[in-house]
């Protein structure tokens, strides 16, 4: 599987979980540069706040679970390369940088969850020496990554029970290995089914305006040897009408306590189409994506992104200059359109109540 987020120590070791002691003080966050896909597979290594902030903001790394993992490991890299005279100085420095990283994306709740967990761990151990706190921070970050890998695998195992040979599955955006620590959320059942010899035909919405479905989902599914067909977003209704889709599985960047799900813009429309055509619509997400402080999806903040993503995407002007643009990055699918939510603990069905 792909490893979009990892830790690279100064001795060159690529570490995905805290399996051995890292004696050297340095190390860097290692990411796949997803803006270059599918033309080029390139890794970047980062250890300063603004570069990591930019990588999250600019979608070098994207997908709620991967953003959380990257922010946590990035914070560990930022703190680990510095020297501190006492633990209070380290904690204050870490908090300042965590606050900055938290400003990078407003919708993906995993970002805030992961940073809060990292800060809580070092604050609870503030009496330890600065070197020990650096190790605690790195261990916490890598444990978050390892937990995400295991949760995604569990989501895949539960979701696989919905899949049968020959089914047509529609997905929107990218909620695969590139969006998580490994396996993905929405794509994880497809990978697990493929490993079990179940043959599926996957339809990937291109996902405008940044085409994460065609650039990323189709790329990684094809790399895994899974049958995948890309369709334009506005073709989903026709493909459903033709009977090619048996099931829809999408991911989520934030779920409220009542099961409303925020996901990449266009997901809400897919859910409406699935309801009309009597096609089951599932959301796949780990517990870290649930925001139980929000009673409904109406309270989920929706990120507004640069109009240039619409007007001048991928280097070519596609709209007149001087006109207005509206570019929400996400929409919210209400719970009444969701057949079930696939989590690492199993599949939940309506009525949803996660408090």
Question: What are the pLDDT digits (tens) for 283-320?
Answer: 999 999 999 999 999 999 999 999 999 999 888 899 99
Q: How many residues does the chain have?
A: 355
Question: What are the pLDDT digits (tens) for 57-67?
Answer: 999 999 999 99
In this prediction, residues 321-335 reach a mean pLDDT of: 97
The domain segmentation of the chain, as residue ranges, is 5-152, 156-348
pLDDT band at 53 (very low <50, low <70, confident <90, very high): very high
Q: Comparing C-alpha atoms, which of 272, 218, 280 is closest to residue 248?
A: 280
Which entry of 47, 205, 233, 253 is annotated as an active-site residue? 253
Specify the pLDDT at position 350.
96
Examine the pLDDT at 170 and tell me if it is beyond 80. yes
- C-alpha to C-alpha distance for 166 and 163, rounded to whole angstroms: 9
Specify the pLDDT at position 314.
85
Cβ neighbour number for residue 100 with a 10 Å cutoff: 16
Specify the pLDDT at position 13.
86
- Asked, as a colleague might, if the bond just before 38 is cis with ω within 30 of 0, I would say yes
pLDDT band at 202 (very low <50, low <70, confident <90, very high): very high
> Above pLDDT 90, what percent of the chain?
91
Specify the pLDDT at position 217.
98
Specify the pLDDT at position 23.
55
pLDDT band at 355 (very low <50, low <70, confident <90, very high): confident
pLDDT band at 3 (very low <50, low <70, confident <90, very high): confident
- Same CATH fold, 156-348 and 5-152? no
Question: What are the pLDDT digits (tens) for 224-243?
Answer: 999 999 999 999 999 999 99
Specify the pLDDT at position 14.
87
- Residues in CB range of 281: below 8 A, 6 or more apart: 248, 250, 270, 271, 274, 275, 333, 337, 338, 339
In this prediction, residues 320-333 reach a mean pLDDT of: 96
Specify the pLDDT at position 25.
64
Q: Provide the phi-psi class of 173: left if phi over 0, else alpha when psi is between -120 and 50, else beta.
A: left
What CATH number should be reported for the domain whose range is 5-152? 1.20.120.420
Among 1-15, 123-137, 157-171, 191-205, the range scoring the smallest mean pLDDT is 1-15
Between 346 and 23, the higher pLDDT residue: 346
- Asked, as a colleague might, if the bond just before 351 is cis with ω within 30 of 0, I would say yes
User: How buried is residue 10: exposed, middle or buried, by Cβ count under 10 Å (0-12/13-18/19+)?
Assistant: middle
Report residue 324 as tokens. 């207005």
- C-alpha to C-alpha distance for 82 and 79, rounded to whole angstroms: 6
Is residue 326 classed as helix, strand or coil in its secondary structure? Answer: coil
Beta strands in the chain (DSSP E): 5-8, 14-15, 28-32, 43-46, 168-171, 201-205, 228-231, 247-250, 254-256, 261-264, 281-284, 290-291, 330-333, 340-343, 346-348
Examine the pLDDT at 244 and tell me if it is beyond 90. yes
Question: What are the pLDDT digits (tens) for 98-157?
Answer: 999 999 999 888 999 999 999 999 999 999 999 999 999 999 999 999 999 999 999 999
């870490």: which residue's tokens?
94
Average of per-residue pLDDT values in the chain: 95
CA distances from 292 to 122, 345, 353 (A): 24, 17, 10
Question: Catalytic site residue 132?
Answer: no
Judge contact between 251 and 179, C-beta under 8 A: yes
Report the run of H or E that residue 50 belongs to, with start and end.
Answer: helix 49-57
Examine the pLDDT at 42 and tell me if it is beyond 60. yes
Q: Comparing C-alpha atoms, which of 257, 330, 331, 247 is closest to residue 282?
A: 247
- C-alpha to C-alpha distance for 211 and 292, rounded to whole angstroms: 30
Examine the pLDDT at 349 and tell me if it is beyond 90. yes
- C-alpha to C-alpha distance for 301 and 295, rounded to whole angstroms: 13
CA distances from 53 to 63, 75, 97, 98, 240 (A): 15, 10, 10, 10, 39
pLDDT band at 2 (very low <50, low <70, confident <90, very high): confident
Specify the pLDDT at position 17.
66
pTM of the model: 0.92
Specify the pLDDT at position 273.
98
Please report the DSSP string for 91-142 in residue order. HHHHHHHHHHHHTS-SS-HHHHHHHHHHHHHHHHTTTS-HHHHHHHHHHHHH
Examine the pLDDT at 24 and tell me if it is beyond 70. no
Report residue 209 as tokens. 């305006």
Question: Per CATH, which fold does 156-348 belong to?
Answer: Rossmann fold (3.40.50)
In this prediction, residues 79-94 reach a mean pLDDT of: 97
- C-alpha to C-alpha distance for 312 and 317, rounded to whole angstroms: 4
Examine the pLDDT at 158 and tell me if it is beyond 70. yes
- C-alpha to C-alpha distance for 157 and 162, rounded to whole angstroms: 10
Specify the pLDDT at position 10.
87
């Amino acid at each position: 599987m792909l490893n979009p987020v990892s830790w690279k120590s100064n001795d060159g070791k690529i570490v995905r979980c805290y399996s051995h002691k890292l004696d050297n003080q340095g190390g860097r966050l290692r990411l796949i540069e997803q803006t270059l896909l599918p033309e080029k597979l390139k890794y970047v290594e980062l250890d300063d706040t603004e570069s990591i902030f930019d990588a999250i903001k600019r979608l070098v790394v994207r997908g709620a679970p991967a953003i959380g993992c990257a922010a946590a490991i990035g914070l560990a890299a930022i703190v680990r390369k510095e020297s501190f005279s006492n633990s209070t100085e380290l904690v204050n420095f870490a908090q300042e940088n965590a606050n900055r990283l938290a400003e990078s994306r407003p919708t993906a709740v995993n970002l805030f969850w992961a940073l809060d967990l990292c800060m809580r761990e070092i604050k609870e151990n503030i009496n330890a020496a600065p070197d020990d706190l650096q190790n605690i921070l790195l261990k916490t970050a890598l444990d978050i990554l390892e937990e995400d890998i295991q949760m995604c695998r569990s989501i895949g195992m539960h979701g696989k029970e919905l899949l049968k040979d020959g089914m047509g599955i529609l997905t929107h955006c990218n909620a695969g290995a590139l969006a998580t620590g490994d396996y993905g959320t929405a794509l994880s059942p497809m990978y697990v089914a493929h490993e079990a010899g179940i043959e599926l035909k996957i339809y990937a919405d291109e996902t405008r305006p940044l085409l994460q479905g065609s650039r990323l989902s189709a790329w990684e599914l094809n790399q895994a040897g899974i049958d995948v067909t890309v369709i334009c977003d506005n073709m989903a209704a026709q493909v459903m009408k033709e009977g090619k889709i048996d099931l829809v599985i999408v991911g989520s960047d934030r779920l409220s306590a009542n099961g409303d799900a925020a996901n990449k813009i266009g997901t809400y429309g897919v859910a409406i189409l699935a309801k009309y055509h009597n096609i089951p619509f599932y959301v796949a997400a780990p517990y870290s994506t649930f925001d139980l402080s929000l009673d409904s999806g109406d309270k989920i903040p929706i990120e507004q992104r640069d109009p240039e993503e619409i007007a001048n995407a991928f280097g070519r002007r596609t709209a007149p200059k001087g006109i207005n643009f509206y570019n929400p990055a996400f929409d919210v699918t209400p719970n009444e359109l969701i057949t079930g939510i696939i989590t690492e603990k199993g599949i939940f069905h309506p009525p949803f109540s996660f408090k």
